[in-house]
Every structure is written in C-alpha cells, then in structure tokens.
Amino acid sequence: MMDRPLLLLDVDGPLNPFRSRLAGLHGYTTHRMRPALWMSRRAPDSPSARRGLRVRLHPTHGPRLQALPFELAWATTWMHQANTMISPHIGLPGDLPVIEWPELFAHDPDGLYWKTRPLLEWAAGRPFAWVDDMITAKDRAWARAHYPAPSLLLRIHPRHGLRARDFTTLTRWAASLPGA
C-alpha cells in the first residue's frame, strides 16, 4: 500500500486567520497564547506579553483535516508548540510530526520563501500538499522544477483561513495522485 501524501500545516494564516476582523462570526474562537518565538520578541513584563498573542481557531478544523486522505504534519514556526497549544483547541492529536527548521526566517538566495527548501527536503520525495499564507508563484515554480514527486503549494489568505473550497481542493488533488 502506498503511503498517504503529506499535508504540511502552517498555523498563522491557514488555521489562525490573524487578519480577519470577522473571524468570530465565522465560528472561530479566540485564545490568548504565549508561544516561545512570539514571547522572545517581547519584554517579559510588557502589556502584550502579559496579554498573550490573540489566536483565532476553528473547532471543526481538526476533524475536517483528519478526514482528508493525508498524513498531517506541522510546518510552522510554532514547531512542537503547535501540538501542545493548537491541537487541543481544534481537535488534532498532540503528537503530529513537526518540521524543525534549521534556521528561522533565513534569506534564500533565489528569493524563495524561507520555508520552501527545508520543507521540500523534509518531505523527502513523498507527495505533499502544503498550506501556508506566504507561498508565492516562485515557490510553486521551484517545487515543480526541483521536487521529484507531486506537490500542491496552496496559499491561504490570512484574512480567511482554511475555507470549504480549500478542503475541496486538497481532496481533489489527493484523489488525482497515482494509486489514489
């Protein structure tokens, strides 16, 4: 049996539509969190550090993601904290694989998004779909030219987060793979 394709998940943008003014009207709930990377950029006694980062999450995203024909993994700067801080609020298991970035926000010599090269290396030739708010046409073209397996790089607008049409796109793409 062929392994299921990977679905590589970013948090901010796809799961946390941080640019939305109307997230609450669309079923998202607000949580205050203190992820390590975010906290490292604040004075510990600052009002924003005391308040925490506002994170909007939709409680149905976990079951909807698990129903897709993918193996889920985190591709986020939240790294392992996605399992402890995000998963419980959306109904995902707390032990999903995590891409551990060799260097956060590294400059790419070809102008790719800093996650692109390490993510493709981590996927190790397996078919994958990646949802992120920072994917560009340049990243898609580079993956098509340099990655040996099918890939779907799906940009999610940070004002909307994952929507029904994105779940449809992911399902159709997985069904189009050889051996699906």
Cα atoms in the Cβ-side hemisphere of radius 13 Å centred on 152: 23
Domains of the chain by residue range: 6-16+59-175
Residue 57, SS3 per DSSP: strand
pLDDT at 63: 98
Rounded to two decimals, the pTM is: 0.94
Name the CATH architecture for the domain at 6-16+59-175.
Answer: 3-Layer(aba) Sandwich (3.40)
CB 131 within 8 A of CB 9: yes
Residues 6+ apart with CB under 8 A from 93: 83, 87
pLDDT at residue 98 tops 80: yes
pLDDT at 2: 58
pLDDT at 26: 86
- pLDDT band with cut points at 50, 70 and 90 for residue 6: very high
pLDDT at 65: 98
